[in-house]
Amino acid sequence: MEAAFFDVDKTVIAKASMAVFGRTLYREGLISRRTVLRGLWAQLVYLHLGAGEEKLARIRESVLTLTRGWDQATVRQIVREAMEELVEPVIYGEALELIETHRAAGRKVYIVSASPEEIVGPLASYLRVDGAISSRAKIDQEGRYTGEMEFYAYGPYKADAIGALAGRENIDLAASYAYSDSYTDLPMLEVVGNPVVVNPDRVLLKLARERQWEVRNFVRPVSLRPRVSAPGLPAAAVAGAVVMGVGGVVGWRLGLRLRRQPVSLPAASWQQRLRERSAQPISAVSSWLPNLPAGWLPH
């Protein structure tokens, strides 16, 4: 049996699916205005400069600490209210076509993501793939997030999980495929015989060229709406969607908006401006950001 393994962010989806929850979480009192601004700053730096493993680890621990004590039922309700936004055009058409091609060839298809299982699982169902590998947060007996991680599907742990899955399902990894945009997924790409990089970061692009791996660019988001039946969607399935990403939800969405719209910046590039500002506190962010659409930041 052969299989195809797809990373999610920037490989299957054009933006973070958690990005729709930021304003709702702020309105419900689960996060503060400062947290929104901190997430905005972190996401701008990540989008334009990238982030090393140490920085990503700090962000992960910060977010886990933030969610400690959150009631799962409350998060379910918040996600339910924001669910309609999840069916905006976010899925790359090229990824859907590849998924269908692999299925037609008789291969099993899996999505593999560091995002929480509460959102990756439903996404796998939407895409009609065979399964998913994702991160798992710990929940206590009272149904609250503990602030700890049970399993983090990142870097070498993705490759380990793929190997374990291959053993259970009798999958021939040497004949299988893997798709990702990030150099942090190098172990996942190396574990299969047919690695493909999609919308790669600079480091991964360099490695792909050196190793003569296939490089693809996905640029055509399509609507997920026809694949989702909103009334029948179990809210419980997406209850923990924010566990790994809430700290940066508004920043991610803002970063995409800024890249689509013309902005008034000095001659220095985004990268240079971010390098110059990276050591400044969050309170300095609003002093140099371009004019933003009304409603982006909480009042």
For the chain, give every domain's residue range.
Answer: 3-261
For position 141, what pLDDT does the model report? Answer: 93
CA atoms lying within 13 Å on the CB side of residue 249:
26
For position 42, what pLDDT does the model report? Answer: 53
* 137, amino acid identity: A
Nearest to 241 by CA among 78, 87, 119: 119
For position 114, what pLDDT does the model report? Answer: 87
- 140 is known as an active-site residue: no
Q: What whole-number distance in Å separates Cα of residue 199 and Cα of residue 196?
A: 10
For position 89, what pLDDT does the model report? Answer: 62
- 185 is known as an active-site residue: no
Sign of the alpha-carbon dihedral angle for 131, 136, 139, 144? negative
For position 196, what pLDDT does the model report? Answer: 99
Instruction: Output the six-digit token pair for 132.
Output: 């998913």
For position 73, what pLDDT does the model report? Answer: 76
Burial category of 4 from C-beta neighbours within 10 Å (exposed 0-12, middle 13-18, buried 19 and up)? buried
For position 102, what pLDDT does the model report? Answer: 98
Pick the catalytic residue from 7, 71, 140, 160. 7
Burial letters for 168-198: b for 16+ Cβ neighbours within 10 Å, e otherwise?
A: eeebebeebbbbbbbbbbbbbbebbebbbbb
Walking along the chain (299 residues) 10 residues at a time, the average pLDDT comes out as: 95 68 64 59 48 63 76 70 59 94 98 82 84 91 90 94 98 99 95 98 96 96 61 35 38 36 40 45 41 40
Fold of the 3-261 domain: Rossmann fold (3.40.50)
**Strand duo 108-116 + 3-7: pairing:** parallel
